[in-house]
Chain A
Amino acid sequence: MSPLPFNLTQEELRAGAVGAALVIVAALLPVFDQAYYLALGVNIMLYAALCTAWTLFSGPTHYISLASAAFFGLGTYSVGLGIDHLPFPLLVLIGAGCGAVLAGIVGVATLRLSGVYFVIFTLGLAELVRQLVSWGQSKITTRMGLYVFTDFTEKHIFWMLLALTVLVFITGWLINRSRLGFAMQVIGNDETVARHVGIDTARAKIILFMISGAFIGIAGAICAPRYAYIQPNSAFNPTISFLVVIMALLGGTKRLWGPLVGVIPFTILMDFVTAKFPNHTSIVMGIAFLAIVYFIPNGVTGLIEQARTKLRSRMGAPAVKPGEVQP
């Protein structure tokens, strides 16, 4: 850790410039391809947004949240239910609100207690919300699904997800510079210490979880037009939660950009596996979890950093090469 955390403008500027360049390159993708690569790009962007939002909370706290599918589904449903009555941007905000409220409820119920309760609670959360939504739907309306017809095409969804990812990054950067971010750093290092220096640990964690949940809700809302026909089973698909955990941990959660390193290769891998070996997806996910736990517990970025410190200590002097800093 640097002794002067606010005196990093040089490095931060460079990181910002690299980030902006990458965003521009990414934004040009729909110009070159409108079919397979764009669809793949949407998936990558979706998981980039989801995993980074997940890491906002789970990175510093080390709490494994499996609630992503629940927030995502709520966002999707906000759009599905309201698309005939309200403008789309407002529905996206409602999706964010639903995600935040659900995260708040989960947080209040579990985040005062130990992490295990939290994992267990979030494990079944998507299924719980799915049951409640299907039940509510069967009581109010007679049909199971919702139609979402918009003028949005794949490329609009791609750009919206890209914007969301940028927004998550900026939020994460702002949080890191704020009191909340500092509190989370202390909590992540030692929760007892945090409590003794007067940090309301439960409150800090709940706020952060709500922010994370809101972003995942937005992602769900943005993806609603992509499905066109929304059913509880597809909107609250628990696989989303697990994939988010795998990709984020594969990349590493210590840095804000860590999850990206996991998202890109793993989305491509899953795309290949679901297309070629649809019956083997569970096995691939199982192996991925095991590989992460046993071989890369700190993610790929953790490996890179380890190699860098080793290299640096061998060279004797701390030498930061220009191309090394990434957003």
Chain B
Amino acid sequence: MQILVTGILLSGTYALIALGLTLQYGVARIMNIANGETLVAGCFIAFWLYVSFTINPILGLFVIAPLAFVLNWLIYEVALRPLVRRAKNRGQLEVDSILATFGLMFLLQGLMLLAFGGEYVNYQFLAERFMLFGSAYGLNRVVAFCAAVVIAGALYFFLYHTRQGTAVRAVAADPASANLVAIDVAKTSAMAFALGGALTACGGALLSTFYTFNAAMGIAFTMKALIIVIMGGVGDVRGAVLAALMLGVAETAVASLIDPGLTIAATYALFILVLLVRPQGLFGRRTT
């Protein structure tokens, strides 16, 4: 039971990171390997705001999210739009965007290493006991989970109950057809990419309240987010949330029952299972 609750609390943050990536890959068609670096940047900005200005990380989200949105918009317009224009087909865009975002990943990682150093960082925020079903959990984890639920809920409302959100889903389904019904695909893609970056940065800010982070850990989270996105089905919000839950619980179970050093192995076990059984994602339909 304790494993289940810890896993679910952890998966809230995972879900946000993966939702960010699924928007970037599913809608803007950019497989963003530098997603983990956005997350780490979110961690460090939240830390900096808290330590230097004593701004509560939850309030800090209101600074971090718009900032990440603007920065990711710029990254898309400057670095990735030329690749989208150049690509003759989806396969080429995939290869190009993977390589370009590898470059971004190393560049951002290197810049953050210079700025913050390679040490592990953490800070005390709401480090109190919180009783849930008779066991104690860190209050910061519970708060981070609740914030993640609120943000994911807002995203769901945006995607399924607003005009803009519907346009985003249309581009995810088929960019060519979306163009035919007068949706500005280029603008919507850029917006989805920026929104994805903002979600990931929020995930990072929440993660930093209970997790020890450093400048080089981005790639591990990119990996987890990628696996969640594939498990859930590319561009599928519900699938990503469910896959994040599964991954969070599986990781916590392996870490506490077998060995904390085997979390990647747990992730991969799930990944292989999905690839062999349902490569189209949990809720996906098999394409003909």
Contact = CB atoms under 8 A, between A and B. Distances in A.
A128 to B, nearest CB: 5
A249 B98 CA distance: 13
Interface string A26-56: 0000000000000000000000000000000
Interface string B92-115: 001110111011111111110110
B223 A289 contact: no
B31 interface: yes
Interface centre among A119, A135, A284, by most chain B C-beta atoms within 10 angstroms, is A119
Nearest to A121: B271
Contacts of B100: 289-290, 293-294
Contacts of B151: none
B279 A293 contact: no
B275 interface: yes
Nearest to A124: B223
Contacts of A245: 99, 102
Contact of B262 (A135, A287, A292): A135
A120 B106 contact: no
Contacts of B94: 115-116
B98 A286 contact: no
A290 B96 CA distance: 10
A238 B264 CA distance: 14
B1 interface: no
A127 interface: yes
B267 interface: yes
Contact of A131 (B98, B102, B223, B262): B262
A132 interface: yes
B279 A117 contact: yes
Contact of B230 (A109, A120, A132, A297): A120
B116 to A, nearest CB: 12
Contact of B95 (A113, A115, A138, A290): A115
Nearest to B258: A135
A288 interface: yes
Interface residues of B, number: 44
A134 interface: yes
Interface in B242-288: 259, 261-265, 267-268, 271-272, 275-276, 279
A98 B220 CA distance: 25
Contact of A281 (B110, B264, B271): B110
A249 B103 CA distance: 13
Given A123-B226, A293-B83, 14 more contacts: A113-B275, A120-B226, A121-B271, A131-B264, A131-B265, A242-B106, A280-B114, A282-B109, A282-B110, A283-B110, A290-B79, A290-B103, A293-B96, A293-B103
Interface of B: 31, 33, 79, 82-83, 91, 94-96, 98-100, 102-111, 113-114, 219-220, 222-223, 226-227, 230, 259, 261-265, 267-268, 271-272, 275-276, 279
16 contacts: A64-B95, A64-B98, A109-B272, A115-B94, A117-B275, A119-B31, A120-B223, A127-B223, A238-B219, A242-B102, A279-B110, A282-B106, A283-B106, A286-B106, A290-B104, A293-B83
